[in-house]
Structure 1
Amino acid sequence: MQETKMKNEVFPTSVFSELGYESAHFGQGQWNGVAIISRVGLENVIPNFAPTIEPDGEARIISATCGGVKVVSVYVPNGRALDNDHYTYKLEWMKKLKQHATKIAKPTEDLVIGGDFNIAPTDDDVWDITKFEGATHVSAPERKAFNSLCEWGLTDVYRDMHPEPKVFSWWDYRNGSFHKGEGMRIDFLLATKSLAKRVKSSEIDRNARKGEKPSDHVPVMITVEKK
């Protein structure tokens, strides 16, 4: 869960608890915020990056172990513009994310990193690449950072199971982008090979965008077979 936009003390822990879920939240008020919700246990919670990595000043990453699987929820910085300091921050953040993965797990262990990456790794992940000339989300350094993370030992589970192009997880609220099909795939569940082998299905719930006052993102889901 990403962009919760609330402090820890107001996160609705009791609501999830009544439904049988444990929850861990790392928030900072009206900005950012990430959470992990689990029905299979929730242990070893790490808000922010691993302790040996310089902490981020914003609430963008939380990790925990759920049912034997190490889970990381991320909200990668947007970047704003290629000449903006936030873009440099984004690239440094991605380097730290890879360091974080190496600190908490080995590529041979069960790990999934999921959330809003604010990166479209290929041209097939945007509706029209010509509309993104000189823009963030598709730049070569961003894609290199994403690929570097995957090369450590992670698989883009949805893409592996659904090779067809132009399937999106985000659409701008403006200009009827959803109905025009003008979206991007920037939300991912990246799993180590040992976990990816047990994935039975992976879906992007496009229908969630059709609801009343929906998010501009839709859920990305995987179903994993128990060991």
Structure 2
Amino acid sequence: MKIATWNINGVKARIENLIEWLRDSSPDIVCLQEIKTIDEGFPRLEIEALGYHVETHGQKGFNGVAILSKTKPDETSRGLPGDPLDEQARFLEAVFSLSGNKILRVCSIYLPNGNPVDTEKYTYKLAWMERLRKFAAQRLAYEEILVLAGDYNVIPEPHDCFNAKLWETDALFLPQTRAAFRRLENLGLLDAVRATTDEVPLYTFWDYQAGAWPKNNGIRIDHLLLSPEAADKLTSTAVEKHVRAWEKPSDHVPVVGYFDL
């Protein structure tokens, strides 16, 4: 089974790229972030025509997550628990039944950026990460095949960016951010990409400015975090960076994990 995450940076603006990628890559489950549309505005028919079921948690103009899957999930839930006043559409969970009475639980995550760091945006980021940690701890207790996939807006290590010095004061790389990410991993979650390769440089995002893509000035912020049960089924990963060279690309590229399910 092929499970992918991709920050599409506006599904309506990238619909042709998304369709081409779905046809070419044929993932079984796709977690999208930054769909930037309300649920009713998602181009559902075009995706369903390719054989995918569509679940969305949208928001007008920004944020928004979706899960596309070749089989319909048994259940879905929208919004990260822990703050009933949080109206930002950043979290969607879907549950699938597998053979042998096994359960696959997949979450599409769009973690807050957090910049500027001297504002409430960074406070919100850290609080959101703590809510995610508590959620993950609760889900790990189920001992299911769990995949937390998404744009984490976290650069885990210096080798995950082209120039660590330039990112020292950025919310994506601050010590507090990376420590919060490690607390998440320390629950027993595996960074799928780093578990399967030590390749450097290896990036998933290149800014539109300053020739970042042709210079390969990127960062790795899109991650698949796996429960032990999911890690046991992981066979390989890939970063499908070729789509960054397409016309009207997202600034992110798909990150995929292959699982023997």
**Normalising to structure 2: TM-score of the pair?**
0.82
Unpaired segments of 5 or more residues in structure 1?
none
CA distance in 2, matches of 1:190, 1:19: 27
1:172-191 matched pairs, under 5 angstroms: 172-191=207-226
Q: Tell me the matched-pair count.
A: 224
2:65 aligned with 1:34: yes
Letter in 2 for 1:43: D
* Residues 243, 249 of structure 2: 8 Å contact kept: yes
Name the SS of the counterpart of 1:141 in structure 2.
helix
2:167 aligned with 1:138: no
Change (3 A) 1:104 1:192: closer
Change (3 A) 1:152 1:107: farther
Q: Which residue of 2 aligns with 1:95?
A: 130
**Which of 236, 247, 256 does residue 201 from structure 1 map onto?**
236
* Residues 75, 96 of structure 2: 8 Å contact kept: no
Q: Which residue of 2 aligns with 1:62?
A: 92
CA distance in 2, matches of 1:62, 1:42: 12
What percent identity do the matched residue pairs reach? 35
* Residues 118, 186 of structure 1: 8 Å contact kept: yes
1:207-226 matched pairs, under 5 angstroms: 207-226=242-261
1:171-223, CA deviations, whole angstroms, 9 ceiling, x for partnerless residues? 11001001111110000011112111211220001101000010000000011
After TM superposition, give the deviation of residue 134 of structure 1 in Å: 1.7
* Residues 57, 64 of structure 2: 8 Å contact kept: yes
After TM superposition, give the deviation of residue 100 of structure 1 in Å: 1.8
RMSD: 1.3
Name the SS of the counterpart of 1:114 in structure 2.
strand
Name the SS of the counterpart of 2:214 in structure 1.
helix
Unpaired segments of 5 or more residues in structure 2?
1-31, 98-102
**Normalising to structure 1: TM-score of the pair?**
0.94
* Residues 160, 201 of structure 2: 8 Å contact kept: yes
Q: Which residue of 1 aligns with 2:42?
A: 11
CA distance in 2, matches of 1:149, 1:41: 29
Change (3 A) 1:107 1:182: farther
CA distance in 1, matches of 2:142, 2:163: 34
Q: Which residue of 1 aligns with 2:227?
A: 192
Name the SS of the counterpart of 2:59 in structure 1.
coil
Q: Which residue of 1 aligns with 2:164?
A: 129
Q: Which residue of 1 aligns with 2:12?
A: none
After TM superposition, give the deviation of residue 99 of structure 1 in Å: 1.6
Q: Mean alpha-carbon deviation: is it higher for 127-136 or for 28-37? A: 127-136
Name the SS of the counterpart of 1:223 in structure 2.
strand
* Residues 80, 90 of structure 2: 8 Å contact kept: no
